[in-house]
Each structure stands twice: as C-alpha cells, then as structure tokens.
Amino acid sequence: MGRWEPNARGRLEQAALELYLERGFAPTTVTEIAKRAGLTERTFFRHFADKREVLFSGSEMLQQALVDAVAGAPGEAAPIDAVAAGLDTVGDLFRDRRPHSLRRQSVIAANPELQERELIKLARLSAATAGALRARGVPEPAASLAAEAGTAVFRIAFERWVDGPQDEDLTQLIRGSLAELKAVTAGA
C-alpha cells in the first residue's frame, strides 16, 4: 500500500463488508467497493484478487499462526496438546475482532458460494495442521485425526462466539469445546 493511501486495505475491507451487508454479496461490484472506500479499482486489485477474497484474506495469516504455534509447542507435548497450543494462538488473533467477525459471518451465512469457500479454507487449515503435526513426528492417521479434531473444535467454538453474548472470550470457548470433545470421545 502506498503512503498516499493510509490503511487502504482496511478501508476496502470495511467498505466491502458494509456493501455486502446493505445490498448482498452478489450484486456488489469492485467499482462500488473502491468508490465507497474513496479509492480506485486499481488499488483494490493491488490488495485483493477479487471481491470474494476480501472476506478470506485473513485465512492465510490464521493458518500460519496456527502452524507456527503447533510447531513451537514443547517437544514432549502430545499431539492434541500441540493442537491446543495452536488454537490458543488463534483465539488471541481474534481478540477485539468480534464486531468484524459477526458482520463477516452474516455475509457468509447469506451466500452458499461463500459457505463453500469457508469449508475449503477450513479443510486447508486442517491439512496444514496435520502437516505441522507430521513434522513433529506424529504418524498418520493420528496427525490428521488430531488436526480434524482441532478444526472441529475451532469451528464450533467460533460459531458460538459469533452467536453468543458480546463479552465471551473466544479462547475460553475453544478450550471449553476441546474439553467437551474429549468428554464426548471418551463416551461421556
């Protein structure tokens, strides 16, 4: 981003979310998003490949943070504890992002194409987590199962966070979901 366009990326995200909520995702154009943000289409395309990517641009950072935290967990940590360390980091990333997440989620809930995209991003997140576990020496299928378990815990905690009261903490919800998954798989 050039210095003549302070926070262009954030302004474009903000404008896009506003328009998607006001008019729906499908009819909104990149021209309209750029105009609402007081920027040019060219600037838009310097930051995002298309209008869909505005909603998913954070997923690579999320994935990287998760993978780094799994890799950085103590060497003796059990696979599920390495995943739990990764999920704690993810919880931290969303701190103060609830208003944004809430608006983003309602755009996605209204559009099947975006829901599919979200599923694909979650599948990639799970595959990347499994890769980070294998790099720690965890064999298959334990690596994929621990990664899938972690992804399910995150997805379900995230939904509860977005739908729930304003003051709930995502990290606490994630830890609660993981504890619940442990109880469920133990046959409780």
Binding site for its own copies (CB under 8 A): 78-81, 116, 119-120, 123, 141-142, 144-146, 148-149, 152-153, 155-157, 160, 177, 180-188
Q: Which is closer to its own copies, CB of 69 or CB of 174?
A: 174
Q: Which is closer to its own copies, CB of 15 or CB of 143?
A: 143
Q: What is the dihedral of CA 181, 182, 185, 186, to 10 degrees?
A: -150
Least CB distance from residue 181 to its own copies, whole Å? Answer: 5
Q: Which is closer to its own copies, CB of 103 or CB of 160?
A: 160
Backbone angles phi, psi at 178, to 5 degrees: -65, -40
Least CB distance from residue 145 to its own copies, whole Å? Answer: 5
Least CB distance from residue 22 to its own copies, whole Å? Answer: 28
Residue 31 near residue 12 (C-beta atoms within 8 A): no
**Distance in angstroms (rounded) separating the CA atoms of residues 4 and 138:** 48
Least CB distance from residue 169 to its own copies, whole Å? Answer: 16
State the burial class of residue 127 (Cβ atoms within 10 Å of its Cβ: 0-12, 13-18, 19+): middle
Q: What is the dihedral of CA 46, 50, 56, 61, to 10 degrees?
A: -30
Q: Which is closer to its own copies, CB of 12 or CB of 66?
A: 66
Q: Which is closer to its own copies, CB of 3 or CB of 186?
A: 186
**Distance in angstroms (rounded) separating the CA atoms of residues 159 and 170:** 10
Least CB distance from residue 186 to its own copies, whole Å? Answer: 7
